[in-house]
């Protein structure tokens, strides 16, 4: 079945960087964009950006531009999200999600299980 499996929880100090991985299985990895969405404790969902695994092309939400880098390795079907200059406001669960596109519509399915990133001194 189509599945996204993310790397484990991380604890980082303020100012550090974190890199989260998202391994895809059950479909052709290069055929679907991977998006990243985060959720701060008790808060809603926030879109961070996306990567086209086929071309490596990326688009980032304005809020994260300059601080985030999304990459992918098609040889192992894995996408990565690196966030730099972490502050306590970056404490959140980070999700990857596959974007399904058909003429006139698109949606996220499935989602990874989430990776908790805790930023604390």
Partner 1 sequence: QSVLTQPPSASGTPGQRVTISCSGGSSNIGSNTINWYQQLPGTAPKLLIYNNNQRPSGVPDRFSASKSGTSASLAISGLQSEDEADYYCAAWDDSLNGWEFGGGTKLTVL
* Interface positions with partner 1 (CB under 8 A): 35, 37, 44-47, 49, 59, 61-62, 95, 97, 100, 102, 104-114
88: phi then psi, degrees, rounded to nearest 5: -60, -25
Nearer CB in complex with partner 1: 19/106? 106
Nearer CB in complex with partner 1: 28/113? 113
Nearer CB in complex with partner 1: 69/114? 114
The beta-strand segments (E) located in the chain are 3-6, 10-12, 18-25, 34-39, 45-51, 58-60, 68-73, 78-83, 92-102, 105-111, 115-119
DSSP designation for 66:
T
Q: 111 has which bridge partners?
A: 97
Q: At closest approach, how far in Å is the CB of 49 from partner 1?
A: 8
Q: At closest approach, how far in Å is the CB of 107 from partner 1?
A: 4
Q: At closest approach, how far in Å is the CB of 10 from partner 1?
A: 17
Three-state DSSP at 115 gives strand
Nearer CB in complex with partner 1: 15/107? 107
């Amino acid at each position: 079945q189509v599945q996204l499996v993310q790397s484990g929880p991380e604890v980082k100090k303020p100012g550090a960087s974190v890199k989260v991985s998202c391994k895809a299985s059950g479909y052709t990895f290069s055929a679907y964009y991977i998006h990243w969405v985060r959720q701060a404790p008790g808060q809603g969902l926030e879109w961070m950006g996306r990567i086209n695994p086929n071309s490596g092309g990326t688009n980032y939400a304005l809020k994260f531009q300059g601080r985030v880098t999304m990459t992918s390795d098609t040889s192992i079907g894995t996408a990565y999200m690196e966030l730099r200059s972490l502050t306590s406001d970056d404490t959140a669960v980070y999700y990857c999600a596959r974007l399904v596109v058909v003429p006139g519509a698109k949606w996220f399915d499935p989602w990874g299980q989430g990776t908790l990133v805790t930023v604390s001194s």
